[in-house]
Amino acid sequence: MADPGLQAAQEDGRTVLYATGSWVLANFGKFPSLAKLPAEAGVALDASGLDALDTSGAFKLMNNLREAGVEPASVEVRGLSDSLLPVWKLVAEHFPDVQKATERKPAGIIAQLGLGAINTFEHIVGFVDFAGRLAVESFRLAKGLRGFRGREFVAQMEAVFVYAIPISAMMIFLMGLVFAYLMGVQAQKFGANIYVVDGVAAAVLRELSPVIVAILVAGRTGAAITAQLGTMKVNEEIDALSVLGLSPYAVLVVPRILALFLALPLLVFLGDVAGLVGGLLVAKMQLGLEFSQYWERLDSVLQMTTFMVGVGKAPVFAVFIGLIACRMGMTVARDARSVGLNTTSTVVQSIVAVIVLDAAFAIAFVELDI
Amino acid sequence: MDEIVIQAKDVVTRLGNALIHDGVSMRVQRGQVVALIGGSGSGKSVLLKEIIGLIRPRSGSIDLFGKDVWAASEAELMRLRRRFGVLFQDGALFSSLTVEQNVAAPLREHTELPLKDCLQLARLKISMVGLPPSACPKMPSELSGGMRKRAALARALALDPELLFLDEPTSGLDPISARAFDRLIRLLSDSLGLTVFLVTHDLDTLLAMVDSIIVLAGGKVLGQGTVEDLKKIDEPWLRDYFSARYVEEHA
């Protein structure tokens, strides 16, 4: 392929440009530029020396003409072969559009602030709206129980609860272990080894187990719910359900939130047991406490309220995680990017919700002397 | 110009236990618009994917521009890929990029051009497929189905290919948009001297813009020729295929 060339010559008082070689995309970097031309007398383009021309080459040629001060449309073209003429014509027809293409300007900082506020407001309104619709659907279900999807509920329980047992028990076991170890190091200095039991029991049952399990479920199940419902939305499966006369809330949302509602307290309970076992191992190995001593101390200091506070927080966390995950899933737009964005958003929102709720609970319990 | 652009020889394909192609042979000449038709499940789309190097056939060879796709080295394959464009069935635009970034993507990957030139060439292609300049900064999700197809066509044309593959170009379009899309493809292929290979169900497309038709049935090529040629073949599926059209016109 010959390199592209462009020579200007004066003939009969006007400028004639001789284009030669291959004006194709592969040669894009080698296209010669053009000095300013006097446009008044008219300009002609002689293309008889042209070997090849594609749309990119034709575009560049026109762009060079424009930069040299000549409108491409006013140029007389001659000598272009029959096979290349349509290419030139096609590009000439669409060349003006390229300059017209609009840039989308990024919004100014004030506008962005305003948009952010509007989005947040709409998000909160949407969330309340979603919770309301869900409540109405739940009452309708509770009246008849006919539309309830038992099979879906069981499948969700399996996914949310059964498969989460090993990982959540493992994590709280390690938490109890670490917590007992660190407390033990301090307690040993005062010869107060036995009080480690008090600390582990309170910390694991009241805070560690509910919060850690809730965060785990938010990441694990929350993300799964959003991704699944979102993909169903993209596939129009949710529309298909509505057309069948089924409520997507009854079929998809209620079983998921109910499964979370029941699974989370159970997971927290299993976490409690695992955390206490972790503490027990440290007490035995590091602090020299016997199993029986640990057990007796636990029996005498552990109050039912401590346990109930931890397990009682779990369903509240569960409902928030479920609401956020289902709503983010149902509001996915019809593309892959949106599924990813909403899934991320679910995890962030539900973890924040869990921590904020936990803080609110902590303050409320202190005020109530629980 | 009798150059063969696509040539398949004795292609056999199995997916799982199903025998999809049982010795498919066909060829496409430069500058022609060739359609591949066949019933659902006859392996049209699979053959298309084998030609563009996405699915490996069990045996047989597929040549593009005289090079065996499945024996080519990665570098040769890369050079081949610059010479053809593909329009996927639902457009397959990247949903995280704007329309002009989508069209500029092949230019950015395959050439060393600066971003400004890539975007300008992208805008030219977008205009060529009949989209307004205001479509350039939009996201694919903001476009209608017909516009998305056009944007995807612009991306397929980004590298000024010699060969264009279209997978069901008019599916999901209303008849008016579908005919407009047919005309657009014919105009572009005539102007730019493109070879076009398309998979389609659309009889109107076949009648309006196709030079030659390849019929795939029962894992084999049943015939290749114009609509008139194919009407002469006595085969139940083909008879039904064209008589459906006849009933439609005379009902």
Q: Quick check: B18 pLDDT over 80? A: yes
ipTM of the complex: 0.75
What are the DSSP calls for A130-194, one per residue? HHHHHHHHHHHHHHH-SS--HHHHHHHHHHHTGGGHHHHHHHHHHHHHHHHHHHHHHHHHTT-TT
Residue B212 has pLDDT above 90, yes or no: no
A145: CB partners within 8 A, 6+ apart = none
pLDDT in tens, B222-232: 888 887 787 77
Interface test with B, best of A23, A25, A100 (most B CBs within 10 A): A25
Query: What pLDDT sits at residue B229?
Result: 80
Quick check: A358 and A313 in contact, CB under 8 A?
Answer: yes
Q: Compute φ and ψ for B247, nearest 5 degrees.
A: -60, -45
Report the residue from B95, B134, B157 with minimal CB separation from A336: B95
Compute the average pLDDT of residues A23-41: 75
Interface of B with A (CB under 8 A): 95-96, 98, 100, 111-113, 117, 120-121, 123-128, 132-134, 136-137, 139-141, 157, 159-160, 187-188, 190-193
Q: How far apart are CA B78 and CA A320, in angstroms?
A: 50
Helix (H, G, I), strand (E, B) or coil at B27: strand
Identify all chain A residues contacting B157, using CB atoms and an 8 Å cutoff: 55
Cα–Cα distance measured from residue B202 to residue B172, given in angstroms and rounded to the nearest whole number: 11
Q: What digits encode the pLDDT tens for the residues A233-248?
A: 988 888 888 888 778 8
pLDDT in tens, B47-106: 888 888 888 888 888 888 888 888 888 888 888 888 888 888 877 888 888 888 888 888
Within 10 angstroms of residue A41's Cβ, the number of other Cβ atoms is: 11
Alpha-carbon A288 to chain mean position: 48
Q: Assess contact for B103 and B122: CB atoms under 8 A.
A: yes
Query: Residue A156: which pLDDT band, with cuts at 50, 70 and 90?
Result: very high
* Residues paired with B8 in a beta bridge: B26, B62
Say what the pLDDT of residue A240 is. Answer: 87
Alpha-carbon distance of B232 to A96, in angstroms, equals: 49
Looking at residue B251, its pLDDT comes to 47
| DSSP code of residue A302 | -
- Residue in B with minimal Cα distance to A63: B120
B33-37 and B212-217 as β-strands: parallel, antiparallel, unpaired?
A: parallel
Fill in the DSSP letter of residue A127.
H
Please determine, for residue A13, whether its predicted confidence score (pLDDT) is greater than 80. no
- Interchain proximity B133–A97, CB inside 8 Å: yes
For the segment A283-341, what is each residue's pLDDT rounded down to a tens digit? 999 988 999 999 999 999 998 999 999 999 999 999 999 999 999 999 998 788 889 99
Answer yes or no: do B136 and A101 touch at CB < 8 A: yes
Two structure tokens written together for B132: 């307004």
Q: Mean pLDDT of all residues in chain A?
A: 88
The Cα A12–Cα A14 span in angstroms is 6
Section A144-156 average pLDDT: 80
Q: pTM score, two decimals?
A: 0.70
Q: How confident is the model at residue B250 (pLDDT cuts 50, 70, 90)?
A: low
How far is B72 from B86, CA to CA, in rounded Å?
A: 19
- Return the structure tokens found at A324: 């956020």
pLDDT at A42: 75
CA distance to A7, A25, A26, A80, B121, per residue, from A31 (Å):
12, 10, 10, 18, 15
Average pLDDT on A25-49 reads 76
The residues near B16 (Cβ < 8 Å, ≥ 6 apart) are: none
Q: How far is CA B232 from the centre of its chain?
A: 26
**CA gap A325, A349 in Å, rounded:** 9
